[in-house]
Structure 1
Amino acid sequence: MAVFVLDKRKRPLMPCSEKRARLLLERGRARVHRLVPFTIRLVDRTVEESVLQPMRIKLDPGSKTTGVALVRESEEVDGETGEVREVRKAAHVVFLAELSHRGQAIREALTARRAFRRRRRSANLRYRACRFANRRKPKGWLAPSLRHRVETTLSWVNRLCRWVPVTAISQELARFDTQAMQNPEISGVDYQRGSLFGYEVREYLLEKWKRKCAYCDAQDVPLEIDHIHPRSKGGSHRVSNLALACRTCNQKKGNRDVAAFLARDPQRLARIEAQAQAPLGDASAVNSTRWALYAALKGTGLPVEVGTGGRTKFNRVRFGIPKTHALDAVCVGHVEAVYGWSVPTLGIQCTGRGSHQRTRLTKYGFPRGYLTRRKRHFGFQTGDVVRAVVTTGRKMGTYVGRVAIRASGRFNLQTRNGLVQGIHHRFCTLIQRADGYGYAWNRTAFVKGEAGTGAACAAALSLSVLKGGVSRAI
């Protein structure tokens, strides 16, 4: 996997290989600038002395997870004229990431706060003037849980632009026509928005039913769309009446109702009926944020290419690439060839930067205890990645993870193996400051025999520059 490189003035250069980064560090020509994603800073080179190549950020926005891919665009030499012409359609994968949003957590926190306020006002515990009538929502307003998806995606685009010489952006402008999905025959004034039904609805069903047969849980087989309640017996084309079935189950079920087909398996019948009525919240979230994200990306000043979800799936199937959020991002837009896609994927979890709330609350919304008024103690703050070498006591050992500070000086450490409590601050060494995200490397995208020894994740390189080594998940 590539390592990000900055010049001596912290301007982005072309990424390099792990081997080259290790040699530069050993020879004193570079310094470690950032641990995750692993970035080095050269001490003897500037941008003017380097050759840069076209780099493109590709995004596959989702309601819960956004796929991010950084690809290098190749150049092709004309065999007749010998001229070099740019070919955007050939993508060499440099970096993959999956950004997990916390929109649901934000929504639940706002719901709880609203409930607490409502209860306090109704019980006349504290007077507060009503504010529901003095607020005006501007055009394009998004709920905080939806605005979070746009802002975090844009934040990582800006970060990559600081570490890599990005020249263009590609975005999947997925559209889900929820009206047509619920009722394909809708028309006239009842029809609100959207124009897609066929290919995009199939993508929605694949996500809804976890890409497996609803009746036998078969995976990695061709799946067909089945009507839970047959059309011959009054069933409709609504998306809540559609399920995925393998050919064997589809033929065995025939035109029977699902209740008759699964009469001997009531548990599966109840699960299918409950899952069939799942809301379209994810599709609505994507619809609400797609144009806001597009406008935000245009604000970066870089050319933005858009593609449909149908083209993304077409490219993925054509190249034989597995289904992941990050690899979907690689296939966004007009692509004719993909090289080096079998690299580790960096999992980025939005954790937030803390809370303004300085108390814990009871289930009724009343304060319970008080939190420390200071954000930092003994040089650490909650969310920092630290390495703790405990030399005495029952907790003797080496731990690496995210720290939760305490005013007493005894911190809690969240490692990949669990929570370790009561680690004294004198045993802790700072590795990376808290930035509102948690990181973990994921190797599920590897294909045996294709990755090779050179595809070890950049975290492995960071181990070699830290004495004693650290964990791969932080």
Structure 2
Amino acid sequence: MSNSIYVIDVKGVPLLPTTPARARLLLKKEKAIVYSVIPFTIQLVREVDTPIGEFKAGIDDGAKTVGISVEGNGKIVFAANVSLRQDVSRLMLQRNQYRRTRRSRKLRNRKPRFLNRGKTGWIPPTIRYKKEVTLRVLRDMIKRLNITSCIVEQGAFDISSMSAGYQLIGKEYQISEYEGNNFRQKVLWRDKYTCRKCKSKEYLQVHHIRYKSTGGTDAVSNGVTLCDTCHKSLHRGEWKLTYSRTSNLLYPAHLQQGKWWLFNELKKMFDRVTVCYGWMTSKNRKRLALPKDHHFDASAMLNCKEYRTMIYDIKPRRTKVWEDNPTKKCTSKNGFQHYDIVKAAHNTLGSVVGSVRSLKSRVITLRTSFSDNFPVSYNKSKLLWRPVGLVYTYNSDGLGGSPRNFL
């Protein structure tokens, strides 16, 4: 099965993809130059008067990973899994604390901002970041393929039923779970104002079984009554809760909150934008006999199973350099930089292609399709490509063949 090599003309207009053999011939005859290495794209040295070809993108939206596939003439010409950062909320809170500290110490600071939330079209920055990464990947592929339409999957979650643990019906959505005005009062009332460990009735506190920082909620089922002594000993790790952990509702909430913002932004990019739902994707995937993966879900939405491309893993590059990071003490070493795409020779695995994770004194560690911290030698490594914003690496599935077929 041949891979798709993307082609653009001298003015940057995307053309139909070609085969590796034809791309080699064009490069050999100096009729084209290399535009990018991963994904491999060539640029013709002439202008094409009448470019042809239209493509359709499928987007399997997610909270941790997004699947994107592009279809044209009944074949998948691009497929990728996009990994999303999960530390945006924590870093924003950290930045907020730094700014507040500087204001309290009367140091140089930025003035606090007010009334910059809740406006029309505003969504939380954590969710907006995840949707903007999807748009970044699509804008990058529009440079290589003439994508004119797309289909996006929207999740439909019943958060109330998921929190209750069973399907609510009718007025059950309006019935309060326990008596009380807030989370603490409801949990204390349920536990009869008694510590669940030592049965004490003094100095009572309410503990979240699943922390809110890891997706826990203020549902009564996620709380337990403990006295002050038992609560402190629990956080010190002297004992563990035996209650079952509640379900994580953080990711469904993220999908619910940002789906229409993404839909409206896609309408600004493409002529036609359609919506499908999870049960439709599952039905098509089973009918096409595709395995469960994010890019396969996107291909099932496009009703296509024939792959003419390699599968990529895409990771947005962090441009800000953090100080005192033990794995990033230097930005460059021996001609290599962080996130560089490197091809290295290995004694047992042959050629290994990956993205630079850290630059150590004797070896480079790479993010590859089979390891997130794979060491290789400086002397046996060759720089293939220096990405600017999005880091493309090869997925371990590799339906289109090995990277050695062309690199």
TM-score by length of 1: 0.59
Q: Residue type of the partner of 2:135?
A: L
1:16 to 8, 18, 35: 18
Matching of residue 306 in structure 1 with residue 275 in structure 2? yes
Q: Is the 8 A contact 1:178 1:280 kept in 2?
A: yes
Deviates more, 1:279-288 or 1:412-421: 412-421
Q: Distance in 2 between matches of 1:97 and 1:399?
A: 19
Residue 142 of structure 2 is matched in structure 1 by 161
Residue 460 of structure 1 is matched in structure 2 by 404
Residue 106 of structure 1 is matched in structure 2 by 88
The structural deviation recorded for 1:11 is: 1.2
Q: Report matched runs for 1:63-212 at 5 Å.
A: 63-73=63-73, 91-102=74-85, 104-117=86-99, 131=112, 133=114, 135-183=116-164, 184-185=168-169, 187=171, 190=174
Residue 61 of structure 1 is matched in structure 2 by 61
1:384 to 330, 336, 340: 340
Q: Are the structure 2 counterparts of residues 98 and 272 from structure 1 closer, same or farther at C-alpha, using a change threshold of 3 Å?
A: farther
Q: Is the 8 A contact 1:352 1:437 kept in 2?
A: no
The structural deviation recorded for 1:108 is: 2.2
Q: Are the structure 2 counterparts of residues 136 and 305 from structure 1 closer, same or farther at C-alpha, using a change threshold of 3 Å?
A: closer
Which structure 1 segments of 5+ residues have no match? 74-90, 192-237, 242-269, 362-367, 390-397, 447-454, 464-474
Q: Distance in 2 between matches of 1:8 and 1:317?
A: 42
Q: Is the 8 A contact 1:100 1:348 kept in 2?
A: yes
Q: Are the structure 2 counterparts of residues 271 and 156 from structure 1 closer, same or farther at C-alpha, using a change threshold of 3 Å?
A: farther
Matching of residue 273 in structure 1 with residue 244 in structure 2? yes
Q: Distance in 2 between matches of 1:93 and 1:272?
A: 47
Q: Is the 8 A contact 1:172 1:309 kept in 2?
A: yes
Residue 414 of structure 1 is matched in structure 2 by 365
1:318 to 269, 274, 287: 287
The structural deviation recorded for 1:39 is: 0.6
Q: Residue type of the partner of 1:456?
A: G
Deviates more, 1:32-41 or 1:171-180: 171-180
Residue 394 of structure 2 is matched in structure 1 by 441
The structural deviation recorded for 1:35 is: 0.5
The structural deviation recorded for 1:299 is: 0.6
The structural deviation recorded for 1:161 is: 1.3
Residue 236 of structure 2 is matched in structure 1 by none
Q: Is the 8 A contact 1:402 1:413 kept in 2?
A: no
Matching of residue 349 in structure 1 with residue 315 in structure 2? yes
Q: Is the 8 A contact 2:4 2:308 kept in 1?
A: no
Q: Residue type of the partner of 1:414?
A: T
Which structure 2 segments of 5+ residues have no match? 176-218, 223-240, 346-350
SS at match of 2:244: helix
SS at match of 2:251: helix
Q: Distance in 2 between matches of 1:288 and 1:11?
A: 35
Q: Are the structure 2 counterparts of residues 174 and 29 from structure 1 closer, same or farther at C-alpha, using a change threshold of 3 Å?
A: same
Q: Distance in 2 between matches of 1:15 and 1:331?
A: 21
Q: Are the structure 2 counterparts of residues 273 and 405 from structure 1 closer, same or farther at C-alpha, using a change threshold of 3 Å?
A: closer
